[in-house]
Amino acid sequence: MFSKRYIAGEKLEDAVTVSKQLAMKGVSSTIDHLGEYVTEIKMAKQVQRIYLEMIDRFEQEDLSVTYSVKPSNFGLLTDFETCFELVREVVEKARGYDSFVRIDMEDSSCVDAELELYQRLHAIYPQNVGIVIQAYLKRTPKDLLFLEKLHSEASPVNVRLCKGIYVEPEEIAFKDRKEISQQYVKALRFLLEKGIYVGIATHDRSLTDMAQQLIKQYAIGSEKYEFQMLYGVTPELRSELVRAGHKMRVYVPYGKEWFGYSSRRLKENPKMISYIIKALFKRG
C-alpha cells in the first residue's frame, strides 16, 4: 500500500515501533494521530482521548518524542473555546512529562485561530508548546513580527518553519517555487537572528544547504534549532544531516485516516509515482 511508506501504521504501537527504529538512527520523532476537520465536539473529545493515551504510552519509553496536533481535529472551526480547552489539557499532560506539543498549521482559514490558540497556550506553557509558520503565505513576515513580540528568554517561542502544503489562492500565497524558497530563507534568517528556536522542516537540499551555511555564519548552537522531515521522505538527506552532527526530528503519523495525508503527499510531488514504483520493486 502506498501509504505504508509515509505512515507508521494504524495503531499506536506501530508509531512506538517506528519511533524506536528512528531513535536507533539518532533521530527523534514527533507523533501525529491522523485526522482533520472535526465538526462535532463529541468527536473532538475522542481525538483528545487518543492524544492523552498516546502521551502516557510514549512517556513509558526512553524516547525523545514530541507530539503534533491539528487543531481542526479538536473542533477549531466549530467551537474555539472548547478546542482551546481540549488542546490545553493535551499540553498540560505533555508538560507533566516535561514534553512538548506542536500546533500544526493548517489551511489559510485556520491561520488566525491557530496563532491565537498558540498565543494563549504559550502564555500558560511557554516551554511546552510550539507553532508552525508557512513560508508560502504572504502574511508570514507580519506573523513573524507577532511571534517575535511573544518571545523572551523566560517565554521562548518555538517555530517549525515549512513551505506550506495546502492549495491556496494567489492573493494570499506565493506560487512560484523559487519565490517560496526565497521567502523560506528570509523567514529562517529572521528566526535565527532573533534567537527563536526553529525546526527547519524541509526536504529541499538547496534549503538544507543554505540553512547549514546560516547556522555556521550566525554560530547558532544546537539548543536553538533542529532539522525536521516527514517519515518516509528523503531518508538519505536525513542521514547526511545527522552525520553532519545536526539534530533531526521526523514527523511520524499513524492512524486509520491515512487517505487525506497520503494523497496530499502524492499531489505535492508528481515524481512520487517513480519513487513508489522503485520502492515496490525494492520490497518485491
Q: Which residues are catalytic?
A: 104, 160
Any contact of residue 188 with ligand FDA (CB under 6 A)? no
Any contact of residue 275 with ligand FDA (CB under 6 A)? yes
Contacting residue, 268, 273, 274, 278, with ligand FDA by CB under 6 A: 268
Contacting residue, 18, 173, 214, 230, with ligand FDA by CB under 6 A: 230
Any contact of residue 117 with ligand FDA (CB under 6 A)? no
The amino acid sitting at 151 is: H
Contacting residue, 120, 189, 203, 224, with ligand FDA by CB under 6 A: 203
Taking the least distance from each CB to ligand FDA, the nearer of 132 and 215 is: 132
Contacting residue, 88, 151, 163, 238, with ligand FDA by CB under 6 A: 163
d(CA 51, CA 164): 24
Contacts with ligand FDA by CB under 6 A: the residue count is 25
d(CA 64, CA 130): 16
Any contact of residue 229 with ligand FDA (CB under 6 A)? yes
Any contact of residue 165 with ligand FDA (CB under 6 A)? yes
Contact indicator for 70, 44 with CB cutoff of 8 Å: no
Cα four-point dihedral sign 265, 269, 274, 275: negative
Any contact of residue 65 with ligand FDA (CB under 6 A)? no
Contact indicator for 8, 229 with CB cutoff of 8 Å: no
Any contact of residue 44 with ligand FDA (CB under 6 A)? no
Any contact of residue 166 with ligand FDA (CB under 6 A)? yes
Give how far Cα 53 sits from Cα of 57, 67, 82, Å: 6, 12, 19
Residue identified by cell 478546542 is 83
**Residues paired with 227 in a beta bridge:** 200, 248
Minimum CB–partner distance for residue 272 and ligand FDA (Å): 5
Interface residues for ligand FDA in 232-261 (CB under 6 A)?
A: 233-234, 251
Taking the least distance from each CB to ligand FDA, the nearer of 31 and 229 is: 229
Minimum CB–partner distance for residue 105 and ligand FDA (Å): 4
Minimum CB–partner distance for residue 43 and ligand FDA (Å): 21
Any contact of residue 3 with ligand FDA (CB under 6 A)? no
Minimum CB–partner distance for residue 18 and ligand FDA (Å): 14
Binding site for ligand FDA (CB under 6 A): 104-105, 132, 134, 160, 162-166, 201-204, 228-230, 233-234, 251, 265, 268-269, 272, 275
